[in-house]
Amino acid sequence: MSKQNLAHFIEGLIHDKMEEALDVYSADKLGIPDYALESAGGQIHGHYHSLTYDTGASRKLFGFSLWYDGVPPRVILQPDNTPGSCWAFEGQEGYVVIKLSQAIIPEMFTLEHIPSSLSTNQHGKIPSAPKDFSVWGWLDSEGQNRRLLGKYIYNDQGKSLQTFKVEQEKCNKDYTYIELRVSSNHGDSTHTCIYRFRVHGKPPPGPALLPPKVPTETSPEQLKQTTR
């Protein structure tokens, strides 16, 4: 292969890898499986969430407002982070429980909000973004037995996607239900908005397989006894 052909081959390979990376980024921006993703089977667990706050977004027909409604909590399990496509709850404290697509041993969580550069706030702030929050694993469907997996702070001056690791000593259990509990935001006294919450981890190991039995040779004496 000539140097020119080799250069073209390498250039094409790099281009393909870049396209692949961009596909992963545009699809989910992280390239890490999200077991809370709605399209993969994740869902909001019944009525276990704070009441939805009416942000005043109106539905109109021919320019006339028909009704006002709030975005349901399931939006936090969907890959849409356009401004306004968030679940809002009243005040600074709220929670939501997610039933994952399957039981996993959680390793990381990702909380997403719009970047401050896209905020409609005149000072470029995102006061409705969560600040202090904790994540809990439920060992049953009613939350009677739950474990704290970590306490975190979402930085409003940081990246829009922020990933947080589970405390290492608490990574030995698998969970189907994960609770996100917010205890404060960045200054909005009326409501808090969550754009997306993701849960990353690994499925629990399967049951250990017993080694196959090794057949043993039968002596002539044993064979005679079994045939009597």
Which of 41-45, 89-93, 218-222 comes out lowest in average pLDDT? 218-222
Tell me how many domains the chain contains.
Answer: 1
In a domain, 179, yes or no: yes
In a domain, 20, yes or no: no
SS3 state at 113: coil
Percent of the chain with pLDDT over 70: 66
pLDDT at 184 over 80: yes
Q: How confident is the model at residue 32 (pLDDT cuts 50, 70, 90)?
A: confident
The model's pTM: 0.74
How is residue 210 written in tokens? 């017993």
Q: What is the pLDDT of residues 141-172, one digit of tens each?
A: 999 999 999 999 999 989 989 999 998 666 78
In a domain, 151, yes or no: yes
In a domain, 22, yes or no: no
The domain spanning residue 57 has which CATH number? 2.60.120.260
In a domain, 85, yes or no: yes
| Domain that includes residue 139, residue range | 33-202
pLDDT at 214: 56
In a domain, 21, yes or no: no
In a domain, 15, yes or no: no
Helix, strand, coil shares, percent, the chain, to 5? 20, 35, 45
In a domain, 147, yes or no: yes
SS3 state at 177: strand
Average the pLDDT over 104-132 and give the result.
81
